[in-house]
């Protein structure tokens, strides 16, 4: 089996990155993490990645004259590491159409809501405010519009009556950690692929129906 070379892009603690690192330890996982790159020098995830023996790089966006210069360097670093797929994992920097199109159908993202609901920031506060009974997380193929693009996989998580933002965020995050490796596996093997701006599955794809549905409390 050839393992696809993946770069994980982070900006912070890197818990989703960690979930991908752990999944990629399995011999039959179809991707290897060739690079972890952060746009923030102080991202805690950089240390976690280094501790796992992975190559890390920092590209501090503040050191570039503009978005274009930052993204040209990002593109160069990805190519220098012969990266084939890019996973955004809490990468909190908007990417412009130039870079997104250069990596079209080779860049995926995780977002802590059931898209297209609640794109952007403060997803859990907005879900609580809206009174939805389920929220969750989405792994999707990246397009130039923020938190949009063909959906690879989603996991639903219940919103419970006494939830606050932190409790809900923790429940969704646990689902994220299960969903992202699953989605990357499907995408890296080509079992999930983009067709007409939707993701379709190859016939016979093994896909757990509710991979990350948190159990309801007794
Ligand atoms: C995760 O909840 C991820 O879904 C979210 O940031 C968090 C990063 O946590 N991403 C977005 O909101 C992107 N729009 P992590 O650094 O521990 O993986």
User: Residue with the nearest Cα to atom 3 of ligand 1?
Assistant: 90
Q: How far is the CA of 137 from the centre of ligand 1 (A)?
A: 10
Write down the pLDDT at residue 1. Answer: 79
The atom number, within ligand 1, closest to the CA of 147 reads: 14
For the Cβ of 135 lying below 6 angstroms from any atom of ligand 1, the answer is no
- Measured in Å, residue 91 CA sits from the centre of ligand 1 at 7
Quick check: CB of 14 below 6 Å from ligand 1?
Answer: yes
pLDDT of res. 212: 47
From the list 111, 124, 140, 177, the catalytic residue is 111
pTM of the model: 0.95
For atom 1 of ligand 1, the residue with the nearest CA is 90
What DSSP string runs through the chain?
-PPEEEEEEESS--HHHHHHHHHHTSTT-SEEEEEEEESSTT-HHHHHHHHTT--EEE--GGGSSSHHHHHHHHHHHHHHTT--EEEESS--S---HHHHHHTTTSEEEEESS-TTSS-SS-HHHHHHHHT-SEEEEEEEE--SSTT-S-EEEEEEEEPPTT--HHHHHHHHHHHHHHHHHHHHHHHHHTSEEEETTEEEE-TT----SSTT-PPPP-
User: Catalytic site residue 111?
Assistant: yes
Measured distance CA(216)–CA(68) in Å, rounded: 46
In tens, the pLDDT along 147-157 reads 999 999 999 99
157 lines ligand 1 (CB under 6 A): no
Q: Is any ligand 1 atom within 6 A of the Cβ of residue 149?
A: no
Q: What is the pLDDT of residue 206?
A: 77
Q: Which ligand 1 atom minimizes the distance to the CA of 110? A: 4
**Residue whose CB lies within 8 A of the most ligand 1 atoms, among 11, 111, 177, 179, for a mutation test:** 111
Q: Up-side HSE of residue 100: CA atoms within 13 Å toward CB?
A: 18
pLDDT in tens, 162-211: 999 999 999 999 999 999 999 999 999 999 999 999 999 999 887 665 44
The pLDDT, as a whole number, for residue 205 is 86
Q: Tell me, what's the pLDDT at 216?
A: 53
List the chain pLDDT tens, one digit each, 218 residues. 789 999 999 999 999 999 999 999 999 999 999 999 999 999 999 999 999 999 999 999 999 999 999 999 999 999 999 999 999 999 999 999 999 999 999 999 999 999 999 999 999 999 999 999 999 999 999 999 999 999 999 999 999 999 999 999 999 999 999 999 999 999 999 999 999 999 999 998 876 654 444 555 55
């Amino acid at each position: 089996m050839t393992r696809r070379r993946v770069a994980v892009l982070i900006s912070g603690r890197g818990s989703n990155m960690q979930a991908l690192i752990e999944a990629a330890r399995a011999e039959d996982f179809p991707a290897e993490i060739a690079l972890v790159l952060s746009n923030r020098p102080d991202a805690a995830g950089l240390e976690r990645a280094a501790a796992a023996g992975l190559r890390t790089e920092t590209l501090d966006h503040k050191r570039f004259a503009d978005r274009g210069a930052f993204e040209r360097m990002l593109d160069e670093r990805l190519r220098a590491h012969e990266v084939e797929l890019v996973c955004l994992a809490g990468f909190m920097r908007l990417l412009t159409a130039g870079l997104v199109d250069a990596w079209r159908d080779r860049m995926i993202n995780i977002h802590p809501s059931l898209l297209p609901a609640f794109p952007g920031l403060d997803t859990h506060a907005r879900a609580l405010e809206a009174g939805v009974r389920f929220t969750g997380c989405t792994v999707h193929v990246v397009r130039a519009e923020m938190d949009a693009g063909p959906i690879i996989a989603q996991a639903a998580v219940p919103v419970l009556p006494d939830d606050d933002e932190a409790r809900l965020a923790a429940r969704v995050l646990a689902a994220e950690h299960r969903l992202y490796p699953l989605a990357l596996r499907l995408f890296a093997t080509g079992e999930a692929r983009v067709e007409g701006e939707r993701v379709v599955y190859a016939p016979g794809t093994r896909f757990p129906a509710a991979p990350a549905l948190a159990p309801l409390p007794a």
